[in-house]
Amino acid sequence: MSTTGSTRSETAVALRVVPVDDLRAIAASEAPASERFIDGALPPPFVAERALRQLAEGKPAFWCSTFYIVRESDGYIVGGCGFKDEPYGDRVEIGYAVAPACMRQGIGGAAVGALLELAFDSGEASEVLAQVEPSNVASTCLVRKLGFTRLGIATDEDGTTVFRWLARRGGVAAAAAARAG
């Protein structure tokens, strides 16, 4: 699966499903040999482990696969993103990260915009949740820019305090995602 999005800075990215062999390498804290990536762009091992576990449980690959964020200008992997699990009710949670050297270039916004489009176009999700640590100012700005609404504060599964942000189909976030694509 590949989808393309861009932002005002014209940073075009494509989301490409991380192959299972790459997930295995990443879960083992190894870099996939066949990929070109910027330092810090690969998903952390726990993300690959979660995706492999969910695939082994028979969950739909659409919802549990991890995506590489690929910069279209040169084909380099500059980050990772994806859905954390299949929708619960009509809500799905996303996660995303961009290599430090590639931040502040519109890449995160383009990738999250593409995830919103995928989620809403699936017909299975009408809400997308993003949980952001209060200290992550860049991510807070990103979700605000895309029209997410802050729901409140929560503690995630790791015991970390996070702000919960929600985008709804047909809302400001959907319009922003359409502009980004």
- pTM, two decimals, is 0.87
What is 34-67 written as a DSSP string? T--B-TT-SPPHHHHHHHHHHHHTT--HHHH-EE
State the Cα–Cα distance between residues 180 and 119, nearest whole angstrom: 15
Neighbours of 72 (CB within 10 A): 14
CATH 3.40.50.1220, applies to 2-180: no
pLDDT, tens digit only, all 181 positions of the chain: 444 443 334 479 999 999 999 999 999 999 998 789 999 999 999 999 999 999 999 999 999 989 999 999 999 999 999 999 999 999 999 999 999 999 999 999 999 999 999 999 999 999 999 999 999 999 999 999 999 999 999 998 878 999 999 999 987 555 555 555 4
Query: Residue type for 30, please?
Result: E
